[in-house]
Amino acid sequence: MILKKVLKAKITKVKITDTVLYYQGSIGIDKEILEKVGLQGNDAVQVLNYNNGERFETYIIEEEKGSKKIILYGPAVHKGKVGDEVCILAYAFTTEGEKIEPRII
């Protein structure tokens, strides 16, 4: 069986609202946003920073629903600062011929 990695979800042009250095490392995202794209806590994501070109992979921590928070935790804080616009991507593996329609907001 051949698997391929495809885009599952994309959260585009959201701004970092806070950073917390002394934490294990991850990205906090408002649960309301996560529900719209079908993601949840502990899912792996790639984060792309429009302001400085940084890219990194981490996992999601669910922030309070409706909080509008996008928080960089741990070493990831060195990849962006409050006010930076980021794009958050999640991928899935599919079998040959299987099609996933990405959820984009």
- Annotated catalytic residues are 26, 59
**Cβ atoms < 10 Å from Cβ of 27:** 23
Contact assessment for residue 13 and residue 48, using Cβ atoms and an 8 Å cutoff: no
Rounded to 5 degrees, φ, ψ at 33 are: -65, -45
Task: Say how far apart CA 53 and CA 103 lie, in whole Å.
Answer: 23
What's the half-sphere exposure (Cβ side, CA atoms, 13 Å) at 95? 1
